[in-house]
Amino acid sequence: MSDKSNAFSTNPVRSTMLPYGQQWIDEQDIEAVVEVLKGDMITQGPAIEAFENKVAAYVGAKYAVAFTNGTAALHGACFAAGIGEEDEVITTPITFLASSNCVLYQGGTPVFADIDMNTYNLDPAMIELKITERTKAIIAVDFTGQPVEIDRISMLARDRQLVLIQDAAHSLGASFGGRKIGSWADMTMFSFHPVKHVTTGEGGIITTDNEEYYRKLMLFRSHGVTKIPGELTKNDGPWYYEMQELGYNYRMTDLQAALGVSQMDKLDDFIARRREIVSMYNERLSNIPGVIIPIQHPKAESSWHLYVIRIEPTCSQGSRREWFEALRAEGIGVNVHYIPVYLQPFYKKMGYQPGLCENAEHYYETAITLPLFPKMSNSDVDDVVAAIVKVSKRFS
Ligand SMILES: *Cc1c(COP(=O)(O)O)cnc(C)c1O
């Protein structure tokens, strides 16, 4: 190993590691959870509906159904869409595993389409090339918080009669063409994992305008059981319930929902702070040799979950790995999002081959995620920039 890639620095920019993402919980959040703990209902009580209503109203959707986590919510969406063993579902390889695992849960086949090298999002033209007679749905992911070209993709889905599911785990509060993400697709998923925009510890939600999907999602998250009189095939009495589908226990607790309600009050401030940090990064990193900063589609208004830079081997003497290790050695908790899903051993065993999506693989070899979360101070931002300047000088 050359001394350029030393895993420690004798005089690091930071002595403690700055994480790439982190939640922001305040006293109001804590009190909201304690209130639920002191009450009678700690799961499936009134906080769940309050949280669902709040998220639905925020994104401009008719219905919202909360789940234990975003992955379970995606599973629910695949169930509601009717995805089964004969079906193919098109998605991106540059995403978290859950975006395509949810298709496997239903016995369907994920089909990976390549990304656009400017936005790193699914390229609508590449989606179109992958449509076959078996295609049932598209799962479009708003990678980093920048919405996909949802206008083109929803037109395509309508023309080809495909169900459109938007994995908006990164993009709560983002808009495309002035319209919030959450009602564009047939179903939209948001995650409340601690690194996401607002948190419930673990949590997820599906928003939809479609009553039929709403009903199916409600059944799916609670064993497939209903007690609603109008939905029963018969009625033996006031105790009576029916299992009508094979559902799961995917219910969120009231403790989590109460935290979610309280966190939603801060969402716009969190996003504003994320955007502030991003404009500092954009301004101060735009002329660093070897570093490519993120490019935005003119209609996309990102809510900035992640800030990803790329290290092009043609512009820098250091490789991505050397940059990564050098930044970590400076106390900057950089990360990589994501390894193309189909390169995972489990997917390879199913027959997916390297080379399937060339842009995605090139992206993966060059990407580094910088720290970005609302609680970051300006001096944290200074540290990240100082570390990048330092490393870039070493590699120039
Ligand atoms: C976080 C995330 C999920 C899954 O959410 P969980 O709440 O962690 O289950 C799905 N897709 C993407 C793109 C994510 O980032």
The answer, yes or no, to whether residue 3 has pLDDT greater than 70, is: no
CA torsion sign for 45, 268, 164, 368 is negative
Q: Which residue has the higher pLDDT, 305 or 10?
A: 305
DSSP state for residue 348 in the 8-state scheme: H
Q: Which of 136, 180, 196, 266 is catalytic?
A: 196
Instruction: Give Cα 388 distance to the centre of its chain.
Output: 26
pLDDT, one tens digit per residue, over 211-233 is: 999 999 999 999 999 999 999 99
Segment 29-56 shows an average pLDDT of 96
Q: Which residue has the tokens 């919405």?
A: 147
Among 1-10, 220-229, 299-308, the minimum mean pLDDT is found in 1-10
Q: Ligand 1, residues 75, 142, 193, 303: which to mutate, most atoms within 8 A of Cβ?
A: 193
Q: What are the distances in angstroms from CA 383 to CA 12, 14, 257, 295, 387?
A: 10, 7, 35, 23, 6
- Where do the domains of the chain lie, and which CATH numbers do they carry? 27-262 (3.40.640.10), 266-395 (3.90.1150.10)
User: Region 117-144: what's the mean pLDDT?
Assistant: 98
Q: Is 196 designated active site?
A: yes
Mutation test residue for ligand 1: of 23, 74, 99, the one with most atoms within 8 Å of CB: 99
- Residue-wise pLDDT tens digits, 66-75: 999 999 999 9
C-alpha 88/C-alpha 99 separation (Å) is 13
54 CB near ligand 1 (under 6 Å)? no
- Nearest atom of ligand 1 to the alpha carbon of 170: 15
Asked whether 153 lines ligand 1 (CB < 6 A), one says no
Q: Is 161 left (phi over 0), alpha (psi -120 to 50) or beta?
A: left
Model confidence pLDDT, tens digit, residues 73-88: 999 999 999 999 999 9
Quote the pLDDT of residue 124. Answer: 98
Q: What is the pLDDT at residue 5?
A: 46
